Amino acid sequence: MTLEAKVNYLSEYQPCDFEVLSVNLLFELSASSTLVTNRMLIKRLASRSVSESENKLKLNGEGLVLKSVRLNGQLLSEAGFQVTQEHLFLSPEGDEFELEVVTEINPQANTALEGLYLSSGNFCTQCEAEGFRRITYFFDRPDVLSVYQTKIIADKQAYPVLLSNGNLIESGELADGRHFAIWHDPFKKPCYLFALIAGDLVSLEDQYFTADNRTIKLCIYTDPHHLPHCRHAMDSLIHAMRWDEQRFGLTYDLDTYMIVAVDDFNMGAMENKGLNIFNSKYVLADPQTATDVDYEGVEAVIAHEYFHNWTGNRVTCRDWFQLTLKEGLTVFRDQEFTADRLSPAVKRIEDVRRLRSHQFAEDAGPMSHPIQPQSYIEMNNFYTLTVYEKGAEVVRLYQTLLGKDGFRKGMDLYFARHDGQAVTVEDFRQAMADANQVDLDQMQAWYVQAGTPHLKVKAEYNAVNASIKIGFQQYLKADNSFSPFLIPFKIGFLNDQGETLYPEVAADYSSAVKLEGQDYVLKISQENQVFEFNGVSDKPQLSLLRGFSAPIIMEYQYSEKQLAFLACHDTDSFNRWESAQRLALMELMANIARFQAQQAYQLGAAYADLFETLVSQALNSDQADLALLAYSLTLPDLNYLIEQYDAVDIEALVSVHQQMKKSLAQKYETLLFEVYQKCLADQAYRYDKQQIAQRLMKNTALSYLSSLATDQIITRIKQQYDQQSNMTDIQAALQCLSNLTSPQTDSALAHFYDKYQDEPLVLDKWFSIQAASHREGVFETVQTLTAHPKFSYSNPNRVRSVIGVFCRQNILAFHRKDGAAYAWLAEQVLKLDEINPQVAARMLVPLMQWRRFDAKRQDLMRSELISLMANVQSKDVYELLEKSL
């Protein structure tokens, strides 16, 4: 460990003793030695000016070479300050003073991609969460808000474009071929929102006319070669701006909005004020290089970062324990945006799939933490699925409880009260409560308790009284003394013809139930609770937890017959999908039990019939929602299947999963082939709902058929590949081929490489398709991929596409019995730890799940963690190891 593994606690939060009135930065850029002059006007907060001993000013700083310190213009001697590895201490007199600190940094050597670094020869910054301290000494905490002015000086030829936050106020030429630009950001911001770019870039420009009649200049910067691929990002931005005005009444505040695409980036993108910096994966899109999923990703991330301008920047977080205040809320907003742009049910399915396959695992493993964590060593480790995705689910709970209008009222009050402030999740909740004059204190339980709540549901029908009682019991697996959650539970009642029933809520329960369209929302607030409905003359079909109205694990003993009925007849489209998934899961689990008892695999009639019905619907109806059907026909993924077991039998799960897919393909080959043919279309690529759905259905059918591996099918897959019509279809075909042992596989992979070797984002696909392959010898292939000349440990996208994909998606190969892949991953983590700790920590995650596997695998995985513990350098990896062991 190079740095101190200090634990930060929410309970120890103290406001800062000082206010920074203004920050004046000067960057003299050079690749290996950049000088940063930071002149701050600092004011001691009156309420906190106390005794001499507390006179001290403590600034954060890491990896900086301190050149000079001046107080009110006076150069300080070394006796005038104190420098440690992580801080600069001073004891200034007076209540207001000017402090100037000059530091030197080396952007070229910065492979951690935090602070100021170089990506493809361009300077860029990443300051969230605590990267600003790698640029200069500062109060690196989100509750210190300040006005920034930034002057950039650089060589004009190498770096013709110089950007920072806010407005350009001056620019010009200097001697020696250098030039400068001065930027001023009028909005107060925390330092994590600071950004700087200097490089050889060009921009796509457009304009946006706001609802209040201002014209905003929009610029997307990229390297010249990619300029034609920025149109989709620009359209996405314009859609997002319009949507936020219409849905939330929120308008953009500066005169320009800039986005810059860079190739080396630790995450998706960053919402720096007026100057978003993006992983190029979430900017560039072209039918020939990006898939439908990529297009959707660009639209969602562009919107997400734009939405942060209000939820994150104008109202920011008091401290990093409040991260979900901005991230949960902003993810919720981008989810709602995509739902409106595409299809609400389909978007909901995609989000629920991600939550249950990945966030549930995090919530049940060693990294389990509440959406408001109570402590951390390295903040970067808490940019998690829990803070983001579960956080968004919790925000959604408010909207479900209060209704869309009530939620909007809460948002309006939140901005009216807190614009310009750094606040907490309690402030958000209070605004929601006050605007609607309701008590939401019980929502606190969602913020402070880790783990996914379970909810047992029992229904009792009484034919004599024509009434039905529905009972609930909530519990947390890891915690017997939990405090009950407030759970809005959406439910619908149907008759056997699939018509909606509207039973009457029994009087005692009416305050906890509201009817909304065809759904009843039950407010569950107790550990055990019963609701009663009257006037139900026949036993109704129950459609439970509609739209996944809360992020819980619902336990209800559905019969196969009920599920088959709901999968076809539920009026709630999300629950039609959900019922098909539940039935598939029952089928998978029954066969896993057979496998373990050494009995033969059997395809059950209930699921087979449903599958046939769904394929036929896709084939016969022009009105059918093909995306919904395609997702309904897709088996629950292996990660979600793993979630169903405390002790996972890898071989059983994987072989049953494959067998089920193959047996369905065998039985319904003709139908699947017809669906495939029906969805073939000779039309120019468009990113729209109908085309996306059609391609999804076609490629779902192709994927089933590919498991048959007949010559005829392979020829068909090859044809689709050869047509090269758009990347969605090319990638789908290549994925199918990559799982087969055929000469066609190798020739297609070679062709793909030749064609795209100079397009990093497409080449990532070449790497990841091979890393995910089910072919024999894939582990050896992956080892050769990390030795490939185009592989690089310093590019996070490339690392994720090989190491991340293999260890997370290639379950059987990663968990090979001899533990060789575990040892390999540990080696990769160790290598990455020295280059990029943030990425190293992400790659470690699959090993952290060791407790779920058999004794032999547990030993193998754990011993890798132990040996890593002895060798790692970074806080990032150290913290995860400590939690795992």
Which positions lie near ligand TRP, rule CB under 6 A? 126, 128-129, 266-271, 304-305, 327, 380, 383
| Closer residue to ligand TRP (CB): 195 or 641 | 195
Number of residues interacting with Zn ion: please give it, by CB under 5 A: 2
| Residue 396 interacting entry, from Zn ion, ligand TRP, none, C-beta within 5 to 8 Å by type | none
Using CB under 5 A, which residues numbered 319 to 358 contact Zn ion?
327, 330
**Cα(453)–Cα(366) distance, rounded to whole angstroms?**
17
**Cα(642)–Cα(124) distance, rounded to whole angstroms?**
40
Contact 124, 260 (CB under 8 A): yes
Q: How far is the CB of 440 from ligand TRP (least distance, A)?
A: 25
Contact 254, 166 (CB under 8 A): yes
| Residue 840 interacting entry, from Zn ion, ligand TRP, none, C-beta within 5 to 8 Å by type | none
Neighbours of 670 (CB within 10 A): 9
Q: How far is the CB of 382 from ligand TRP (least distance, A)?
A: 9
| Closer residue to ligand TRP (CB): 129 or 805 | 129
577 φ/ψ angles, rounded to the nearest 5 degrees:
-60, -45
**Which residue of the set 296, 305, 327, 336 is catalytic?**
305
Q: How far is the CB of 257 from Zn ion (least distance, A)?
A: 16
Instruction: Let me know how long the chain is.
Output: 885
| Closer residue to ligand TRP (CB): 88 or 129 | 129
Nearest CA among 289, 431, 364 for reference residue 640: 364
Neighbours of 817 (CB within 10 A): 12
| Closer residue to ligand TRP (CB): 131 or 451 | 131
| Residue 383 interacting entry, from ligand TRP, Zn ion, none, C-beta within 5 to 8 Å by type | ligand TRP
| Residue 236 interacting entry, from ligand TRP, Zn ion, none, C-beta within 5 to 8 Å by type | none
Nearest CA among 512, 596, 505, 607 for reference residue 558: 607
**Cα(865)–Cα(859) distance, rounded to whole angstroms?**
10
| Closer residue to ligand TRP (CB): 357 or 380 | 380
List the strands of the sheet with 553-555, edge to edge. Answer: 504-505, 528-534, 467-475, 454-462, 553-555
User: Long-range contacts for 657-664 (Cβ within 8 Å, ≥24 apart)?
Assistant: 657/588, 658/707, 658/774, 659/591, 659/601, 660/584, 660/587, 660/588, 660/591, 660/601, 660/603, 660/635, 661/635, 661/704, 661/707, 662/707, 662/708, 663/601, 663/603, 664/603, 664/608, 664/611, 664/704
| Residue 128 interacting entry, from Zn ion, ligand TRP, none, C-beta within 5 to 8 Å by type | ligand TRP
| Residue 269 interacting entry, from Zn ion, ligand TRP, none, C-beta within 5 to 8 Å by type | ligand TRP
Contact 220, 234 (CB under 8 A): yes
Q: How far is the CB of 330 from ligand TRP (least distance, A)?
A: 7
Q: How far is the CB of 331 from ligand TRP (least distance, A)?
A: 8
| Closer residue to ligand TRP (CB): 308 or 657 | 308
Kindly calculate the radius of gyration of the chain based on its CA atoms and give it in whole angstroms: 28
| Residue 423 interacting entry, from Zn ion, ligand TRP, none, C-beta within 5 to 8 Å by type | none
Q: Is 362 a catalytic residue?
A: no
| Closer residue to Zn ion (CB): 146 or 330 | 330
Q: How far is the CB of 128 from ligand TRP (least distance, A)?
A: 5
Nearest CA among 792, 744, 747 for reference residue 767: 792
| Closer residue to Zn ion (CB): 329 or 433 | 329
**Cα(417)–Cα(425) distance, rounded to whole angstroms?**
14
Using the structure block, give the residue that is written with the tokens 């629920």. Answer: 352
Q: How far is the CB of 108 from ligand TRP (least distance, A)?
A: 20
Query: Helix, strand or coil for residue 100?
Result: strand
Per-residue tokens: 203:
């921009």
Using CB under 5 A, which residues numbered 271 to 330 contact Zn ion?
327, 330
Quick one: how far is CA 503 from the chain centroid?
Answer: 40
Q: How far is the CB of 117 from ligand TRP (least distance, A)?
A: 12
Active site residues: 305
Interacting residue ranges for Zn ion, rule: CB under 5 A:
327, 330
